[in-house]
Structure 1
Amino acid sequence: MTKEKDALMVLSGGMDSTTMLYDHADSIALAVTFHYGSNHNEREAVCARYHCERLGIELIEIDLAFMGRHFSSALLNGADAIPEGHYADSNMKATVVPFRNGIMLAVAAGLAESRGLQAVMLANHAGDHSIYPDCRPGFVTTMGAAIAAGTYEHIELRAPYTGMTKGEIASRGKALGIDYSKTYSCYKGAEKHCGRCATCVERREALAEAGITDNTPYED
Structure 2
Amino acid sequence: MKTLVICSGGLDSVSLAHMVAARRELTGLLSFDYGQRHRKELDFAARCAARLGVPHQLIDISGIGAALSGSALTDALEVPDGHYAEETMRVTVVPNRNAIMLAIAFGIAAAKGDEAVAAAVHGGDHFIYPDCRPAFTDSFAAMQKAALDGYAEIELFVPFVHRSKADIVTEGARHATPFAETWSCYKGGANHCGRCGTCVERREAFALAGIADPTSYDDADFWRRALAGHAAGGA
The answer (yes or no) to whether the contact 1:127–1:166 under 8 Å persists in 2 is yes
What is the match of residue 219 of structure 1? 218
Q: Tell me the TM-score normalised to structure 2 length.
A: 0.88
What is the match of residue 174 of structure 2? 175
CA RMSD of aligned residues (A): 1.2
Among residues 9, 14, 23, which one is paired with 2:10 in the alignment?
14
Write out aligned runs for 1:63-78 (5 A).
63-72=60-69, 73-78=71-76
What is the match of residue 83 of structure 1? 80
What is the match of residue 105 of structure 2? 108
Compare 85-94 and 145-154 and name the one that shifted more: 145-154
The answer (yes or no) to whether the contact 1:8–1:30 under 8 Å persists in 2 is yes
Percentage identity across paired residues of the two chains: 44
Unaligned runs of 5+ in 2: 220-235
d(CA) in 2 for partners of 1:179 and 1:48? 12
Q: Tell me the TM-score normalised to structure 1 length.
A: 0.94
1:56 Cα shift? 0.7
The answer (yes or no) to whether the contact 1:49–1:59 under 8 Å persists in 2 is yes
SS at match of 2:73: helix
The answer (yes or no) to whether the contact 1:87–1:198 under 8 Å persists in 2 is yes
What is the match of residue 97 of structure 1? 94
SS at match of 1:190: coil
Aligned length: 214
Among residues 37, 54, 58, which one is paired with 1:39 in the alignment?
37
1:211 Cα shift? 2.2
What is the match of residue 189 of structure 1? 188
What is the match of residue 137 of structure 1? 134
Structure 1 residue 29 corresponds to structure 2 residue 27: yes
What is the match of residue 202 of structure 2? 203
SS at match of 1:205: helix
The answer (yes or no) to whether the contact 1:174–1:210 under 8 Å persists in 2 is no
Structure 1 residue 125 corresponds to structure 2 residue 101: no
